[in-house]
Amino acid sequence: MQLPGATPLHIDLRRYLREHDEDRDLTRLICEIADASKYIINAIRTGDLGMAGTSNLYGEAQLELDVLSDRIIRKRLLHSGVVACIASEESGEIQQVDPDDEHKYSVAYDPLDGSSLVDVNLAVGTIVSIYKGGDVFRPVREQVASMYILYGPRTTLVYSTGRGVHEFAMNSLMEYTLNHENLRMTNGAAKIYSPGGQRNKYSAGTESFAQQLEAGGAKLRYSGGFVPDINQVLMKRNGVFMYPHLKDAPDGKLRVLYELNPMAYLIEQAGGAASTGRGRILDLHPKSIEDRAPVFIGSKQSVTLAEKCIAEAG
């Protein structure tokens, strides 16, 4: 419903969710996470960039920002009153809040993906995956929503609840207002590609894929931050990001629960594709918070080419 004379643009996030009849509790959850990002921006801009002196379950030293962002989001999730369980990349265990309430939501999130890039003033992001009920270890395709928040020159929020992919931008009042509605990937040869991992560790199939992308005129665009790199592919409506299986890391680097699930859901919702190189990310069924998988994500044509190269040369 659009008021006479009112443009759909600049409508704020909560009103947009309401006007599109999103579930009331899901609306609250998405808006609580949006509100949390306002505190994270502040921490990024002015906070302590030092080490926290602690490490996460992967044994990685945590930044103060990692711990603070995790605390900020967890507090808002608990405050929402609609969360059944919480899984964060920064903490080793799943927090059971109200696991038996099938009306509530389970949330898996990476509070500040690529946080080490803040130190060098590059863009980073928050990634969130949402399931209905009290369990995050579900088939990836059972997600009911996912979103990311990009802390770059502008702060933007991209979400899908299964009815298209929409981008909101933060205005000077720190409100999220509509910027792009129903983002759709185009097909056709990739104009940009983001190759993660060391190339000298690429398999023959991945190397052949990279060479065919370059032969097709694709330009290299890699920031080292999953959120800004995926956002570039989505906003350009074309291109491919990959963090493939490597000679010394057959499962690649990125985590299924916190990084691959939500982005695969968004990109598929936008008409793109997301693959491990041997199958859809959405067909995965993670069993542990440690699960990682290779990823090729972006325009359907490029992802299909990646699968073909890997089927032929491994």
The stretch near ligand FBP (CB under 6 A) out of 12-20, 45-53, 171-179, 220-228 is 220-228
262 interacts with ligand FBP by CB under 6 A: no
Minimum Å gap between C-beta 60 and ligand FBP is 6
Closest CA to 233 of 246, 244, 214, 220: 220
226 interacts with ligand FBP by CB under 6 A: yes
Minimum Å gap between C-beta 202 and ligand FBP is 13
- Residue span 81-120 as binding mask against ligand FBP, x where in contact by CB under 6 A, dash where not: -----------------------------x--xxx-----
The stretch near ligand FBP (CB under 6 A) out of 159-167, 199-207, 212-220, 224-232 is 224-232
225 interacts with ligand FBP by CB under 6 A: yes
Which amino acid appears at position 210 of this protein?
Answer: A
* Measured distance CA(301)–CA(297) in Å, rounded: 10
Q: Which of 253, 278, 280, 308 binds ligand FBP (CB under 6 A)?
A: 253
- Residue span 118-157 as binding mask against ligand FBP, x where in contact by CB under 6 A, dash where not: ----------------------------------------
What separation, in Å, do the N-terminal and C-terminal C-alpha atoms of the chain show? 51
Query: With left for phi above 0 and alpha for psi between -120 and 50, is residue 104 left, alpha or beta?
Result: beta
For residue 148, list its beta bridge partners. Answer: 127, 158
Those residues with Cβ within 8 angstroms of residue 182's Cβ, 6 or more apart along the chain or in another chain:
164, 165, 166
298 interacts with ligand FBP by CB under 6 A: no
Size of the site for ligand FBP (CB under 6 A): 12
Those residues with Cβ within 8 angstroms of residue 15's Cβ, 6 or more apart along the chain or in another chain:
none
User: Which uninterrupted H or E stretch holds 311?
Assistant: helix 300-313
Query: With left for phi above 0 and alpha for psi between -120 and 50, is residue 49 left, alpha or beta?
Result: alpha
Q: Which residues of this chain interact with ligand FBP, rule CB under 6 A? A: 60, 110, 113-115, 196-197, 224-226, 243, 253
